Amino acid sequence: MTPKPDIFFLPAAGGEQRLCLFHAPAGAPRSKVLYLHPFAEEMNKSRRMAALACRALAQAGHAVLQIDLRGCGDSSADFGDASWADWQADVRLGLAELDRRVAEAPLWLWSLRAGCLLAAADWGRPVNHLFWQPTASGKPALQQFLRLRLAAEMAGGASKGLMEQLKTDLAAGRAVEIAGYRLSAALAAGLDAARLAPGGAPGRVEWLELSTREDASFTPVSEQAVKTWQDAGWAVRPQIVPGPAFWATTEIELAPTLIERTVEALA
């Protein structure tokens, strides 16, 4: 039987803390995995799926660490205080904690949506990637987030010129309010500049995307991104998995086949 996760606060810079959950396997770990959650409300919609996948991976023999990034979940600070650099520092913090708990085992960075943009960097060590529905570029992700404010204002007939005003405010270093989140200029700039580009020594990439269509295929953007990683020497295995876009559904939904394929991918 897989032990219950160890829930704890990890000390961070400036006297802050990051909420973490460590899922230990029953025996010696087959690998160690750091999970990087998606952006804003997508994180909350994905909590259940992430928890079930962590449990399944631990049962399959993998050690998994979840970390709430700065300003997210129950970690220190407000969302509006966080920057992309803060989140990169949190990844390093999580990696160090994972190393402390698991000495020798292959390392995987498992990420979802915009979390994949954060994961795709040179961490100065061998890393394998498990991408769930990766976002190829931060610019459209930021645009999509800003449109949430636009949609809300349209209902009241006050959306004219709003997108330009939001961009002007961010460019001037001012935070903006989007769907209950205060978005800082520093975080917006970091997301806008982020690309799903390979970094560091090549390893493995398990690339899993979801679709409810039986005849689904990868978009040209995904195909080009996969090719970019392959051309850089990474062993990429792309798959389309049946299931809903659980990070964006109105009600909490699950994609059990995605969890099954994830466990198989890391086997």
Q: What is the pLDDT of residue 161?
A: 80
**Band of residue 150 on the pLDDT scale cut at 50, 70, 90:** confident
Task: Evaluate whether 205 touches 236 at the Cβ level (below 8 Å).
Answer: yes
Do 149 and 47 sit in the same domain of this protein? no
Q: Is pLDDT of 3 > 90?
A: no
Domain range spanning residue 142? 138-193
Report the CATH number that the domain containing residue 46 is assigned in CATH.
3.40.50.1820
Residue 1 lies in a domain: no
DSSP structure class, residue 204? E
Do 117 and 129 sit in the same domain of this protein? yes
Do 105 and 234 sit in the same domain of this protein? yes
Q: What are the tens digits of pLDDT across the range 23-54?
A: 999 899 999 999 999 999 999 999 999 999 99
Q: What is the pLDDT of residue 108?
A: 98
The tally of domains found in the chain comes to 2
Residue 210 lies in a domain: yes
Do 149 and 228 sit in the same domain of this protein? no
Do 233 and 142 sit in the same domain of this protein? no
Please provide the average confidence, as pLDDT, over all residues in the chain.
Answer: 94
Q: Is pLDDT of 96 > 70?
A: yes
Do 186 and 203 sit in the same domain of this protein? no
Q: What are the tens digits of pLDDT across the range 103-131?
A: 889 999 999 999 999 999 999 999 999 99
Domain boundary, last residue among 166, 193, 220: 193
What is the full DSSP assignment across 62-108? EEEEEEPPTTSTTSSS-GGG--HHHHHHHHHHHHHHHHHH--SS-EE
Beta-carbon contacts of residue 205 (< 8 Å; ≥ 6 apart) = 128, 129, 130, 131, 229, 234, 235, 236, 237
Do 93 and 149 sit in the same domain of this protein? no
Do 243 and 121 sit in the same domain of this protein? yes
Q: Is pLDDT of 156 > 90?
A: no
DSSP structure class, residue 155? T
Q: What are the tens digits of pLDDT across the range 173-230?
A: 999 999 899 999 999 999 999 999 999 999 999 999 999 998 889 999 999 999 999 9
**Band of residue 155 on the pLDDT scale cut at 50, 70, 90:** low
Do 186 and 211 sit in the same domain of this protein? no
